Amino acid sequence: MKEELIMDTKERLIVALDLAERERVLGLVSQLHDCCGMFKVGLEPFCNYGPAFVKEIQEAGGRVFLDLKFHDIPRTVAQAGRAAARLGVAMFNVHIAGGREMLRAVVEEVEDETGGKRMPLIIGVTVLTSLGAEELFNDLGIERQPLDQVLFWAEIAKECGLSGVVASPREIAAIRERFGEDFLIVTPGIRPAGSSAGDQKRISTPGEAINAGADYIVVGRPILQAVDSREAARRILREMEESRDERK
């Protein structure tokens, strides 16, 4: 369920800590914790430093989006979800491709672990932003276009009680129209104007994503690789705020 309170702009920004160097990551958390809502901890830093690293980020003032994309048999994912809840993360994700039984199991176990209070947001991964129609067909045997596949998986996620989905900027408007305002959309593939796309195929600017209806945007390299990471984050916040003003 979508949070009742209207989020401040900074709460909508998630900074992706996709770096291997522990001290550099903690330094960035110290610099940025008051100008973003969460820090995304993905596979590389988590595998390097483990659950204790999540606690270090929390102790430094950061809320954590645990981006491990759980995808396994139902019991395994359900127990991983329990562990994520015990870590106190604000959000974690699972692959919708794991199926309805897996999705329902993780929601039920996390509700049981938390007593339904202060539950982490459970977000379903749809189509990775590194994949286009050609990769979906040639590599995964999926004949739907990316938008159709995203909507198919998003419907399953909502049916199974997930908080929302991860989806590229190109699918935001269609998800919002079909599933309403109470279904969260977390959007990676965000690149400020003039930035390199890197390995992402379905990208957008911060302003475009907010205008389309994203609840959270995830930004990594444009902040991490900036000469002044704090100023880079603040520029993104200004663009988001201007876009919100335009929508009013």
**pTM for the full model?**
0.88
Is 235 a known ligand-binding residue?
no
Half-sphere exposure in the Cβ direction for 15 (13 Å, CA): 31
192 located within any domain? yes
Q: Which residue has the higher pLDDT, 86 or 193?
A: 86
Q: Which two tokens stand for residue 166?
A: 């991860």
Which candidate in 2, 10, 72, 148 is catalytic?
72
pLDDT category at 241 given cuts 50, 70, 90 is confident
Q: Which domain holds residue 184?
A: 9-247
For 28-86, write each residue's pLDDT tens digit.
999 999 999 999 999 999 999 999 999 999 999 999 999 999 999 999 999 999 999 99
Mean pLDDT over the full length of the chain = 89
pLDDT value of position 199: 45
- Tell me if 163 sits within 8 A of 103, measured CB to CB: no
pLDDT of residue 203: 56
pLDDT tens digits along 128-181 = 878 888 999 999 999 889 899 999 999 999 999 999 999 888 899 999 999 999
Residue 21, domain member (yes or no): yes
**Catalytic residue (choose from 8, 10, 55, 67):** 67
Please name the helix (run of DSSP H) or strand (run of DSSP E) that holds residue 125, with its range, or none: strand 121-125
Number of structural domains, the chain? 1
Q: Is 221 annotated as a binding residue?
A: yes
Per-residue pLDDT at 197 exceeds 50: no
Residue 203 is assigned to a structural domain of this protein: yes
Active site residue 69: yes
77 domain residue, yes or no: yes
Compute, in degrees rounded to 10, the torsion defined by CA atoms 124, 125, 126, 131.
Answer: 180
Report the pLDDT value the prediction gives residue 5, as an integer from 0 to 100: 34
CB of 130 closer than 8 Å to CB of 155: no
The residue to which tokens 């992402």 are assigned: 200
Residue 137's SS3 state is: helix
Q: Is residue 28 part of a domain?
A: yes
Q: Is 76 annotated as a binding residue?
A: yes
